[in-house]
Amino acid sequence: MSMAAASAGEKHRPMTAEERKVILASSAGTVFEWYDFYLAGSLAANIAANFVPGTNETARFIFVLFGFAAGFAVRPFGALVFGRLGDLIGRKYTFLVTMTIMGLATFVVGLLPSYETIGYLAPVAFITCRLAQGLALGGEYGGAATYVAEHSPAGRRGFYTSWIQTTATVGLFLSLIVILTLRLWMTPEAFAAWGWRVPFLISILLLAVSIWIRLQLAESPAFQKMKAEGTNSKAPLTEAFGRWDNAKIAVFALLGGTAGQAVVWYTGQFYALFFLTQTLKLDGTTANLLIALSLLAGTPFFVFFGWLSDKIGRKPILLAGCLIAALSYFPLFGGLAKVVNPALINATENVKLVITSDPAECNLLFDPVGVRVFTKPCDVIRRNLANNSIHYDLQPGPAGSPVKASINGADVSVADNNGTALVAAAQAAGYPKAGDASILKQPTVSGVLSDSRSLAAAGYLFILIIFVTMVYGPIAALLVELFPTRIRYTGMSLPYHIGNGWFGGFLPPTAFAIVASTGNIFAGLWYPIVVALMTFVIGLVFLPETKDRDIYAND
């Protein structure tokens, strides 16, 4: 009875000053790391213009998407390296190292010479910095989440760790605010020439503040207890993934948890931004402003759903978020498109463009990393159409026949074999160009708040962020509780970073490749929908509920 009473008291007592310090220090450092990491996505166009040769804007954009995704690709390797160190030497010192690597790599991006100055060394150096950032982030999150959870009282881990969950969104929000401030303060020419480097350069100041804050922390009590008892693992990697009883937990955590969480998260925060700017042709300032406002309104819900997971469990909230998101994406993105670029949606419904070609001459336009070269007229024409957000239907023609095209039943010449004339004809028939007067444009906060279309767009984005908070708010507590103390840092980090680094990180380029291959601007949504539904099914069957587990248990 006394233990039950003590447990109940832990659940309802106020947060202590030391616990607030732990959460603040861990969260602040992690915010700065996410700020650093997200700059590459937020400034994709500027990076492309400075580091990538050639004038093909689409090739440039896909390269930067690849650079953005490359940082995610190496995150599982960072999880293995730093997760092992975290279980061997401690949580505190490991995430001090990861934070330093992240800050220095980001600072270097701001100093890198352009392609015009050093040639191909420029994109190579940029990708190298992105890989360093990915390795660092692979070790950072697991350390911060584990550290906070191991300082949390029983029955409140969801609430305490949910503050860490806000850091990714706050980091993105901070990066957008810095970029928006510079864009509004500087001329577009100055920002394109050198202003885009400023957000990278000021990261060195954030690094200094982060290190100072985290040096004030002590090691986590669970790790200290384990070290004192001599029960720490001598080989965390082998124990976590070389034994099936532990490895299967990681597999279920990945497929039944973090994979779906990742695609919902990146759809709401990153694919939505790319969809606005690349598909709907919304200007970057307005798009960033809409995303920033939706993030500002939605961020408190990370804490709400973390708190709620202490009451009803991690699993119901996570899986409900995956299911609702999967069922809602098509209507939500459809509504967003109608608000932002109504002429585009009207054209997709009323302008029927048909490509007829020998099937042998049409390849699958799947090029998520931008390295394939398409030379056949069917491929080049379709890719050009997709780049201009023009919907097309592909019909098979006789073997050996040339490519033909028609708009609303009238033949259109494709003699140029690159689709330029076809794009012009489609635009003459009703498809809008970038900068069209019908496209939403509100580059100020007051403009957004006083304009019904802008508010509607922000509302759709806010709903997408709510899905993000449902899946992401409880995930840290769930992952920490799945693994024993001696392999916790290693065990939780790998499924988290495979899910978020691979399933999530490659979502934007993969989704855009699907769009280019199908000619349908909404087809890319099938990727997050399928993954989210997979996670719902696997999680429902195999993922255990963890909210009442004793995380001091070391077996």
Residue-wise pLDDT for 100-122, tens only, equals 888 888 899 899 998 888 888 88
Q: Are residues 529 and 421 in the same domain?
A: no
Residue 554 vs residue 443, higher pLDDT = 443
Q: How far apart are the C-alpha atoms of 242 and 181, rounded to whole Å?
A: 49
Domain end among 394, 429, 464: 429
pLDDT tens column, 369-398: 555 678 889 888 988 898 899 999 989 999
B/e letters for 250-280, b = 16+ CB within 10 Å, e = fewer, are: bebbbbbbbbbbbbbbbbbbbbbbbbbbbbb
Report the amino acid identity of residue 428: A
∠ CA 353-357-361, rounded to 5°: 130
Of 398, 429, 460, the residue that ends a domain is 429
Of 132-136, 239-243, 389-393, which range is least confident?
239-243
Range name among 18-27, 170-179, 297-306, 388-397 with the lowest pLDDT average: 18-27
If asked whether residues 401 and 257 sit together in one domain, one would say no
pLDDT (tens digit per residue) in 506-546 = 787 788 778 887 889 999 999 999 999 999 999 999 999 99
What is the rounded average pLDDT of the residues 179-201? Answer: 88
Residue type, 361: E
Q: What's the pLDDT band for 231 if we cut at 50, 70, 90?
A: low
Given this model, what pLDDT does residue 1 score? 36
Average pLDDT on 81-104 reads: 78
Residues 515 and 464 reside in one and the same domain? yes
| Distance from C-alpha of 168 to C-alpha of 29, rounded to nearest angstrom | 11
Read off the tokens for 186.
Answer: 């500087």
The whole domain housing 368 covers: 346-429
In sequence order, what are the residues at sequence separation of 6 or more whose Cβ sits closer than 8 angstroms to the Cβ of residue 136? 33, 78, 98, 99, 101, 102, 105
pLDDT digits (tens, 9 = 90+) for 335-348: 999 999 999 999 99
Dihedral angle at the C-alpha atoms of 537, 543, 544, 545, nearest 10 degrees? -70
Q: Is the pLDDT of residue 13 over 60?
A: no
Calculate the average pLDDT of the chain.
84
Q: Is 30 helix (H, G, I), strand (E, B) or coil?
A: helix
CB within 8 A of 101, min separation 6: which ones? 132, 133, 135, 136
Residue 362 is assigned to a structural domain of this protein: yes
Same domain for 142 and 250, yes or no, is yes
Statement to judge: residues 375 and 395 lie in one domain: yes
Same-domain check for residues 422 and 467: no
DSSP string for residues in 175-222: HHHHHHHHHHHS-HHHHHHTGGGHHHHTHHHHHHHHHHHHTTPPPPHH
Report residue 354 CA to chain centroid gap: 34
**pLDDT for residue 552 is more than 80:** no
Distances (CA, A) of 63 to 126, 196, 300, 302, 508: 11, 18, 34, 32, 12
- CATH number of the domain where residue 423 is located: 3.40.30
* β-pair type (353-357, 404-407): antiparallel
pLDDT at res. 235: 64
Neighbours of 106 (CB within 10 A): 29
Give the residue with greater pLDDT, 263 vs 130: 263
pLDDT band for position 7 (cuts 50, 70, 90): very low
- The CATH number of residue 485's host domain is 1.20.1250.20
> Three-class SS of residue 395?
strand
Quote the pLDDT of residue 329: 97
| Whether residue 88 has pLDDT greater than 90 | no
More confident call, 422 vs 151:
422
In a domain, 323, yes or no: yes
For residues 32 and 159, membership in a common domain is answered with yes
> Which of 252-261, 268-277, 458-467 has the least mean pLDDT?
268-277
Same structural domain, 60 and 91 = yes
Same domain, yes or no, for 417 and 447?
A: no
In this structure, is the dihedral angle defined by the CA atoms of residues 355, 359, 365 and 366, taken in order, positive or negative? positive
Q: At which of 395, 429, 463 does a domain end?
A: 429
| 434: confidence class by pLDDT, cuts 50, 70, 90 | confident
Mean pLDDT, residues 159-177 taken together: 83
Q: Is 362 left (phi over 0), alpha (psi -120 to 50) or beta?
A: beta
305 with 380, same domain? no
Q: Give the strand pairing for 353-357 and 393-396.
A: parallel
Cα–Cα distance measured from residue 283 to residue 169, given in angstroms and rounded to the nearest whole number: 22
- Please give the distance of CA 405 from its chain centroid, rounded to a whole number: 37
Both 239 and 102 in one domain: the answer is yes
